[in-house]
Structure 1
């Protein structure tokens, strides 16, 4: 028990992938009195972290990560941001603490779904003697709350689309495929795959321009946390680009799971959604018969 307590009071490290989320997590940690160390994932992290101590590191460099965790007195790690590619075999460098997990780790990296891969990565990091914590623990202000978040509210038709897309997103999540679905007029027109939300929404825009999707009905994007997902990594995230792509796709709005989804640059995002006439809302799957 004493060892666990010591770990949890150690220095915090942020493993930074792509996007703005790692920046907000690091800034929230500093605002709370932390001195976060930032591991910038090579070929993934696309933001600048000059204000923080840190180093670049390869996605599969577990041996290098372990040495730095010890050298910097790190006891907690938060994983944030996107990772577009899995490491090649030659990029994987392990140490004694993780070598026993190597066969199963390699199988998962090669063939597992995103959730399986993230679970394996968490286990490998924890094998180095640190705790993995969720971004929402460091930056709770990013979590979506229940109900309309901007100036616009979903109509009755939008609510039906939310119900339909939420059901599809839940099934998709159980299959460990993706987190998002789009419903137009009660019909599921797109499911998120490995391409991510923004590229899925580009597909919706293309389908609408081709006449494959009704121009009379708008539709809704819903993003949910996978039912089996470890919430310490890869919570559904929406931001300015989500609003831009949803607007381009002709949608009426965006719904995310309250308490289990992150909103990046909230004020700017909601202002953009208001200007585009889109609603943004948090839905509660635990409410019987209603979502919000």
Structure 2
């Protein structure tokens, strides 16, 4: 087990500054590095810290970052989810990490969960400087995931999304939707979503639970599954059979598209289970095996 330090890291991305934590294991040679970010509407201090610590203890460097508008990163309006700008932040962090002399730039791994796993897979389809990808419950097909949204609530959600989008054009304050709400209109309407989000939030860090509604329509149109046949690096893909957010059929199709580069696993769990208990331990063990096989610690 390696000792490690955690250092603050600030990287310019467009007009904004991205805040990150750099987990640096104490090794004699520059280690491989894992770039990590959370899924939809979360902060880096939430449940990804437990993964980052385990990777650092195993001898891998980790860069865990907040998207612009979130957490310690700059940008307004706060807690805005912009798919294109978040992808840009990933590209910025990838470029920054590849230029750091303290790590091995030939051993860069992209690590994502839910929406960020969709980003990681999309980036792997366009970038040849990545060693491997770890994707947990990846959001790969917004059109299919949208089918889980209650049909009777869809017109109202789309209306608010359009109003927020048009209002932003003329400088109005955002119209927001709750990320999840057990009794009202929200982004994630599935029965287990409220308890799932509550289980990963860190109470010491501010999280409003509200997101500008303009992203709603863009989430439905986001389909990284269309580009996955371009991936030519090892991918560890972990899917949940009982996932109420990501249809298992989408994961199976995605894995087929990535073959023969994918190690695909379906586990009998729900979307948020992988953060907790035995499922977390199983996931970490599988990921460390994958990393040791394809990246390695010198």
Please indicate the TM-score interval, normalised by the length of the shorter structure.
0.3 to 0.5
TM-score with structure 1 setting the length: 0.34
TM-score between both structures, scaled by the size of structure 2 = 0.33
